[in-house]
Structure 1
Amino acid sequence: MNLSVALSTLRVAALQLPPCTTDLANNEAAAFAAVRAAAAEGAQLIVLPELSMVPYFASAPGGQYRDWAEPADGPLAARCSTLAKECGVTLFVPFYEVDPATGRYHNAVLGFDANGKPLRAGPVARKLHLPVGDDPPPGYDEAAHFTPGDALHVVQVGSWRIGVLVCYDRRFPECWRALRAAGADLVLVPVAGTGGDDMDFFVGELRTHARENGLAVVCANKIGDEFLDGARIDNYGESCVIAAGGAVLAHRRGNEGPGIVSATLAHADIAATREKLTYFDHRRVDLYDTPSF
């Protein structure tokens, strides 16, 4: 059993997973093995990439692959809960969700504490912004597959307040500011694909958001191409852990393949960064904190 996350330090791990195939049981087995390995190395909080158990399918016609979706209290959630308790870790698992109450589908994230208890009565987060693009061909249209979430989420895990931004959500500075305003210490960013970025920009963008807001970041991406119905999704890894001041604490490049990216975060370091870098406190909210801005 790992140490409680009530401590002032937290050992975090981003899992850089191999590409998924249509063999969902095999995808899950690989992800669960990686969780167990990270826990054995001392991780207390573990984050998996976006849509961690299925191939990225947003290049397919809208509505296809809906049989892959599960409710937030479905069989996958039960297995993840058991895994979190078995390993004694806080676990965040991105998945394809169907909400039985609304019939809507979401790109979402489940969270469990070290006792296997859900961190809230449903997903920790639903992806808020849904991109459309054509790189790589034949492109993708997430709005044809998912309904966007309607709220930012911050969960309390011991003494840590943790926010989640799913992939494209990281592009919007307002999200980061809002998470800091909501008391977040740490932001988890599960990702799939490249979003058209080169590798230096991918990490640099996260470093910038971390430093601007005094927020530590854990980003998990897959590595390797996924192929589905003739479409290719180029996952390039670059999973990382970034300090609140923007320093890269751990980083796994794509050419290193799948693996565990881990580092230790400390409340004291975050507090010291915020005392030194006072951007958040110096905002002129009298000028721009209005709905029309």
Structure 2
Amino acid sequence: MTTLPSATLTVAAVQADPVPGDVAGNASSAARLVRRATDSAARLVVLPELFLSAYHPPVLGADPAGTDVAADPDALVADPRLDPVRAVARDTGAVVVVGAAVRHPDRRRTISALVVDRTGTVRVGYDKQQLWSEERKLFTPGRRGATLEVDDWRFGLGICYDGCFPEHGRAAADDGAHGYLCPSGYVIGSAHRRDLYYAARALDNTMYVVFANSVDGVAPWRFNGGAAVYDPEGRCLVRGADTGEDVLVATLDPEQLARTRADHPMLADRLPDQGPERVRVTG
């Protein structure tokens, strides 16, 4: 049985509108949003997918050198454009998860979640495994999952389309995750799926889900906000509107996690093998 965290943790899910291609300006916006979150006691802040470059494929395709950040062989990122985020993490003691386009030493280009720790160190925490549509023309899929530890909380890392696959969230739960962090970029017209997938991942795995999303933006790449935090039964604790910048703050409670897993023990009750063999029944 997974060990539960010893104390609550306050988290923030951000919805915001970055400027396509302006990594330095978006890093400054990220720092402002992190400070707003920490003013409401957040200790972990999640910003949207590709926030540092903005999710805008034409710009990402036209200017990879300007929109990417480079990782070294140890997955560390030293790009000085990210200094405002480093500084706010050091100043506030918050852990920050922010989306970026990353160039690796082997020249792979990935959609990634950067983790900025409380010392201001920036590293690549996770590379998106499930690429959506034309992302495949620009990026390489990630090779492995990842779990982020903040205090004694464990969080699976996913990015947008990853969360549409139940097995991705389940892999996080199998690694002992108490929660699942999903920086995302859902466009206008996808609100039904946006609100269903992440509530389902929470309930499937009796874990918290923190969903960040871009909002508004430049046509045709317009996004629908709805950033949210879900409890382990899939109930929405906080949610943003479909338009407008916002920072949604909620407190994750280990006692609620324990109660939910006691009442709904799907993780413990899973059969070791559903079969590959199946009986065909006709009606």
TM range (shorter): 0.7 to 0.9
Counterpart check, 1:185 vs 2:183:
no
1:10 matched residue in structure 2: 9
Q: How far did 1:77 drift? A: 4.9
1:135 matched residue in structure 2: none
Residues in 1 aligned to 2:197 and 2:51: alpha-carbon distance in whole angstroms: 22
For 1:89-128, what aligned pairs fall within 5 Å after superposition? 89-100=94-105, 102-118=106-122, 122-128=123-129
Counterpart check, 1:286 vs 2:273:
yes
TM-score, normalization by structure 1: 0.84
State the superposition RMSD in angstroms.
2.1
Residues in 2 aligned to 1:19 and 1:254: alpha-carbon distance in whole angstroms: 16
Q: How far did 1:277 drift? A: 0.8
**Aligned 8 A contact 1:48 1:190 in 2:** yes
TM-score, normalization by structure 2: 0.87
> Residues 93-138 of structure 1, C-alpha deviation per residue, up to 9 Å, x if partnerless?
11110002x01111001112323245xxx41110001111xxxxxx
Residues in 2 aligned to 1:211 and 1:56: alpha-carbon distance in whole angstroms: 28
Residue 230 (structure 2) aligned to one of 234, 238, 242: 242
Residues in 2 aligned to 1:110 and 1:43: alpha-carbon distance in whole angstroms: 18
Q: How far did 1:39 drift? A: 1.1
Residues in 2 aligned to 1:57 and 1:115: alpha-carbon distance in whole angstroms: 31
Unaligned runs of 5+ in 2: 72-76, 278-283
Q: How far did 1:196 drift? A: 5.2
Unaligned runs of 5+ in 1: 1-5, 133-140
Residues in 2 aligned to 1:282 and 1:59: alpha-carbon distance in whole angstroms: 47
Q: How far did 1:142 drift? A: 0.6
**Aligned 8 A contact 1:110 1:124 in 2:** yes
**Aligned 8 A contact 1:19 1:224 in 2:** no
Instruction: Report the residue type matching 1:123 in the other structure.
Output: V
Count of residues in Structure 1 that have an aligned counterpart in Structure 2: 266
> What SS class does the counterpart of residue 258 from structure 2 fall into?
helix
1:174 matched residue in structure 2: 167
1:49 matched residue in structure 2: 48
For 1:1-293, what aligned pairs fall within 5 Å after superposition? 8-59=7-58, 63-67=61-65, 68-72=67-71, 73-75=77-79, 76-100=81-105, 102-118=106-122, 122-132=123-133, 141-194=134-187, 197=190, 199-227=191-219, 232-255=220-243, 257-288=244-275
Residues in 2 aligned to 1:261 and 1:98: alpha-carbon distance in whole angstroms: 30
Distance 1:70 1:247, change over 3 A: same
> What SS class does the counterpart of residue 177 from structure 1 fall into?
helix
